[in-house]
Amino acid sequence: MLETLSIASPSVVAEPALIPRSTARVAISILLTVLDSSAVVVFRGMLCNVSAHHPIWLTGIVLVFVSLFASLARTWYLALPVRPR
């Protein structure tokens, strides 16, 4: 029986990243924080007027803001270089 020789594919050499992962995560976290803060500042008056005397609208707006800040907190948590395991 013939023996087949396995030809190993050359290993792919990892190219160095242009920006370290932690630096990119912190930059994205800062960008999202600025965007979320500006959205809250710009639309707070309109949202207060829309949700006045409408408990269902107020509940929906509160849920939107809670999810916005939860996703922002998760982004910052992932951006921190040291996390307990």
Q: Where are the domains of the chain?
A: 21-79
d(CA 2, CA 60): 71
Q: For tokens 């996390």, what's the residue?
A: 83
Residue 61 burial (10 A CB sphere; 0-12, 13-18, 19+): middle
Q: For tokens 């007027």, what's the residue?
A: 49
pTM of this prediction exceeds 0.75: no
d(CA 58, CA 69): 16
pLDDT tens profile 19-68: 677 788 888 888 988 988 888 889 888 888 888 888 898 888 889 888 88
- Which amino acid, one-letter code, is at 84? P
Q: Which pLDDT band holds residue 10 (cuts at 50, 70, 90)?
A: low
